[in-house]
Structure 1
Amino acid sequence: MAFVKSYWSLILVLILSLGTILPLFHPGFFPIHDNTQIERVYEMNKSLSDGFFPVRWVEDLGYGYGYPIFNFYSPLPYYLGSMFIFLGLNALVATKAIFALGIILSGVFMYIFIKQIFGELPGLISAIIYLYFPYHAINIYVRGDLDEIFAYAFLPLVFLGIFKTFLIFKEKPQTNSGLKWLIILAVSVALVIISHNLTSFMLLIILMPLVLVLFGVSNFNLKLISYYFIALFVGFLLSSFYSIPALLEMNYTNVTSQIGGGASFSDHFVCLDQFWNSAWGYGGSTKSCLDGMSFKIGKLNIAIAFLSLLILFTIRLKNKMKLEKKDYIYLLSIVFFFISLIMSTSYSSFVWNLVPNMSFIQYPWRFLNFAGLFISIAAGFMVLKTETLIGKKIHLLIVSLIVILTIGYNLKLFNPQSYYLSPSDYYTNQNHIKWETSKISDEYMPRDFFKPKNQTEIVQKRFEFDQEVKINSILDNTQNIALDFEALKPTRLYINIAHFPGWKITSDEKEEAMITNKGYILNVSPGHRLVNIRFEGTKVQKTANMLTIIGILIVVIGIINIRQKRISRGS
């Protein structure tokens, strides 16, 4: 009973979040734009089971030639999904479980964030607004973007670290405290990066002006700005195992094919009236204002934005007081709420054309993730301030009404268009992965690589000989093939693995393998032969792994330092 009394609001957030995940309990799966999630979770688990860590390569995608998807595609949700498979779930159920986890974490982390800044009841309201934000439903049941769902979940922790550090330095400009929030900021930034690289890029665009404003509001406190830069740097170190190779090795693949064409940002700006209302649908984004998917913010959320401003100015005028520390957090949030909306429209096209690499974001409406974040902060602030204006009883009534209206109006959005009743084996079938799934996403193949035109051209074996040989032993897993065989005559060994730096092919003849548009070819002389084909990683990948280890050590040292300070204070 004491536990329930202490954590009633968090328990309520968890209960109310069930409405967003109920469809995941339905048998089968549902159609989504990114219709490769189950297969990617399965392939991640297969690579981990083969002892590959950190996972960069998967064996079956890429038409059976494999490709380095997790060298470029943010891997965290798939690591977590793989853990559910290790616990005994099949790939289908594990994928649904990871969807549910990402959704629930968004509410929990928003609650923790706002409770720390504004209090318990504001935390409850902000969590519900954040959970039931319409674009959140789009990401889950229309787009099915696991990476973006997890990045959305971790964003509140980033701003918890940002704003708590600001509040500490605003109160005590020369303080040496705040290490706890610095660590939270660093870890959460890393989690966003390895959840969804494009969200982390957009986060950087948001944080640069935000941090500069906080620097000014703190009377240009250099210690504050140094804390921020240290935290962001450590966050980058923690994510280096993924982020550095993703940046530096991109040119080895065809990933740039995703830029422009049907995914040109200039074709996907949101029209202003779509924020107020646009028809709900399960189609795609188009060049016009008649999209197949909705970009509405929700009328209640728009009302909250303007009501919260009115409440703040009413209190300031009534009491003739200066802005408080928390008022700055609110004002920044409401300003960046509108900036997030503007960044989704053509009114920001000059920014999109000016800032390098913005084309990688592809869809300006991705900034709606940040609109959901900032309007949730504004809702928490409004709840905090209204109690002083209207009294406790009416305040609780209004808070209850906001919860009821938010869930009542948006619950229907958290449903898929239909269901597929195919079993897990359908998605993990080798032929399905090598053909159907590979056709959907093959941008991580080498630029000049052979792409089968039909299912009969799919490679069935990872290696083949053009002459008869006697196989003595074979070791064949994701990152390593070891062959011991007798060649009766000169032969060619065809290695059906997409060429990518990091693969090393060695033979007892010291023969160099030739790279082709279908993998590698090794000339073999008659006799007893040993050939080893192994993914050893590149220098960039190995260096990046070491930087991540350094980042982990820094965080561990920081945690030990915090614990020692607590012990010394206790004694």
Structure 2
Amino acid sequence: MKTLRSASFWTALLLTIFAIAPLLRPGYFWAAHDARHDVYFILQYNITWNEGVLFPRWSPDWAFGYGYPFFNIYAPGATFLGTLLYRTLHLSLENAVKATFIVTLLISAWGMWLFVRDWLDERAALVAAAAYVYAPYHLLDVYVRAAMAENLALALLPLSLWAVRRAVFRPGPLTIALTALTYAAIHLSSNLVALLFTPVLGLYLLFLACRRLASEKPPLFSSASLRPFSFPRGKLCVRRLLAPAAGLVLGVALAAFFILPALLESKFVNREQWYGGYYDFHDHFVYFAQLFDPRWGFGISTPGPNDPLSYQLGLALVVLAALAGWVWWKR
């Protein structure tokens, strides 16, 4: 309730209007990379819902009507959300996709605001929320790639970081549940984002645990903590990690209905098609200069440094990061 009374929070949501505005216009962005696929996903998902299957494995009309086990390996979260909006708001398929992107952008602002407010203040939270929503890659994910699944996962990352922080500093059933729900939601939104984010989340958890231990009395490396059998205060460290670790394990368990079949039945999938030819990852590493190239493009990734697709970090974000680093160093 405190969040809902904050003018900074509502300002953060209001500032997303410029990112959302193009989605409110009539028409559909068919030329975006996955825009057609997003429509097909919701169409097939809705068919299975009509048959009483909320989390389908099978897309009945694909592969020339033979069906295809698409949702067995493709995280269903964003399509689930899109189908829910399609059915409850009685939208067209195209507008359901656009509504899904609107929701993910709002979640992005909300999540980043919560995360930063928790350890700084509301002014910093407002700046961080706006910066996250308007990060070039974030907007590219919407308007160039139309990557519905990845965009939902990106929206959930700050919420997961916030929940883990809460679990470290305020351990309890509620924070464990929040950690579990946010982490499970990421796994159910994008396989790849979950894979890349998990090591980062683990390092962040260790960092928070060390900070929590450093604030304990006596401090972690004080003379009192160096007594025989007390160093490195392993039991205390385990206790500090117990709540967030329990939340993460529970999160995997909640998403296991998707994770386990995707892993155990992957041997039946022709995975070589993902790594050969155009999809050979060796041809798609980002060159350092591309991170600062201000040009914008609507093409796809190509070998070499001249992709017709932007990988820029964004001048505003680079400046803000530099200023934040300078302030932190001076403190």
Q: Is the 8 A contact 2:152 2:189 kept in 1?
A: yes
**Cα offset, 1:314, TM superposition:** 1.9
Letter in 1 for 2:46: N
Task: Look up the match of 2:181.
Answer: 187
Q: Which residue of 2 aligns with 1:18?
A: 17
Aligned to 2:151: 149
Indicate the residue corresponding to 1:32 in structure 2.
32
1:8 matched residue in structure 2: 7
Paired residue total: 306
Equivalent runs, 1:446-457 vs 2, <5 Å: none
Q: Could you tell me which residue of structure 2 aligns to residue 287 of structure 1?
A: 303
Shift of 1:203: 1.1
Tell me what 2:70 maps to.
Answer: 69
Distance in structure 2 (CA, Å) of the matches to 1:178 and 1:92? 42
Q: Which deviates the most, 253-262 or 227-236?
A: 253-262
Q: Does 1:138 align with 2:140?
A: yes
- Could you give the per-residue CA deviations for residues 457-499 of structure 1, whole angstroms, max 9, x where no partner exists? xxxxxxxxxxxxxxxxxxxxxxxxxxxxxxxxxxxxxxxxxxx
| Counterpart amino acid of residue 193 in structure 1 | H
Is 2:241 the partner of 1:225? yes
* Contact 2:19 2:134 (8 Å CA) reproduced: yes
Structure having the higher strand fraction is 1
SS in 1 for 2:278: coil
| Pairing 1:70-85 to 2, within 5 Å after superposition | 70-85=71-86
Q: What is the alpha-carbon distance in structure 1 between the residues aligned to residue 293 and residue 86 of structure 2?
A: 40
Aligned to 1:119: 121
For 2:43 and 2:6, how far apart are their aligned partners in 1?
Answer: 36
Residues 135 and 296 in structure 1, CA contact (< 8 A), matched pair in contact too: yes
Q: For the residues of structure 1 that align with 2:276 and 2:202, how far apart are their CA atoms?
A: 26
Q: Secondary structure at the match of 1:262?
A: helix
> Displacement, 1:208?
3.2
Distance across 1 between alignment mates of 2:154 and 2:311: 16
CA contact (8 A) 2:165 2:205 kept: no
Of 269, 273, 284 in structure 1, the residue corresponding to residue 289 of structure 2 is 273
Higher relative contact order (CA 8 A, sep 6+): 1
Classify 1:211/1:10 alpha carbon distance in 2 versus 1 (closer, same or farther; 3 Å).
Answer: closer
User: Partners of 1:89 and 1:304 in 2: how far apart?
Assistant: 39
Which blocks of at least 5 consecutive residues in structure 2 are unaligned?
Answer: 214-219, 221-233
1:167 Cα deviation after fit: 3.5
Q: CA deviation at 1:179?
A: 3.0
Instruction: Flag the structure with larger Rg.
Output: 1
Partner of 1:301: 317
Write the letter of the residue equivalent to 1:100.
I
1:44 aligns with 2:45: yes
Q: What is the CA RMSD across the aligned residues, in angstroms?
A: 2.0
Quote the Cα distance in structure 2 between the aligned partners of 1:58 and 1:130.
34
Aligned-partner Cα distance in 1 for 2:263–2:294: 36
Q: What is the Cα deviation at residue 249 of structure 1? A: 0.9
Structure 1: which amino acid aligns with 2:52? Answer: G
Change (3 A) 1:273 1:94: same
The Cα shift of 1:5 comes to: 9.1
Unmatched segments (≥5 aa) in structure 1:
169-176, 316-571
**1:223-269 alpha-carbon deviations (Å, 9 max, x no partner):** 12222321111000110111111111112222441123212222111
Q: C-alpha separation between the residues in 1 aligned to 2:22 and 2:202?
A: 38
Partner Cα distance (1:191, 1:145) in 2:
16
Amino acid at match of 2:68: Y
In structure 2, C-alpha distance between the alignment counterparts of 1:207 and 1:120, rounded to whole Å? 23
Deviation at 1:222, TM superposition (A): 0.9
Q: Distance in 2 between matches of 1:256 and 1:192?
A: 25
Q: For the Cα contact (< 8 Å) 1:267–1:287, is it kept in 2?
A: yes
Q: 1:36 & 1:179 partners in 2: Cα distance? A: 39
Give the match for residue 228 of structure 2.
Answer: none
Greater shift after overlay, 47-56 or 254-263?
254-263
Normalising by structure 2, we get a TM-score of 0.87
Cα shift at 1:106: 0.7
Q: 2:241 and 2:322 mapped to 1: Cα distance?
A: 31
Task: Say whether residues 1:254 and 2:270 are aligned partners.
Answer: yes
In 2, Cα distance between the equivalents of 1:155 and 1:278? 26
Once residues 42 and 314 of structure 2 are traced to their aligned partners in structure 1, the CA distance between those partners, rounded to angstroms, is 33
Shift of 1:305: 1.8
**Preserved contact between residue 285 and residue 292 of structure 1 (Cα < 8 Å):** yes
Q: Is the 8 A contact 2:300 2:308 kept in 1?
A: yes
Q: Which of 95, 105, 126 is the equivalent residue of 2:97?
A: 95
Q: Are the counterparts in 2 of residues 117 and 164 from structure 1 also a CA contact under 8 Å?
A: no
**Which residue type is aligned with residue 78 of structure 1?**
T
Cα distance in 1 between the residues matched to 2:73 and 2:164 = 28
Tell me the percent identity: 29
Pair 1:210 & 2:211 matched = no
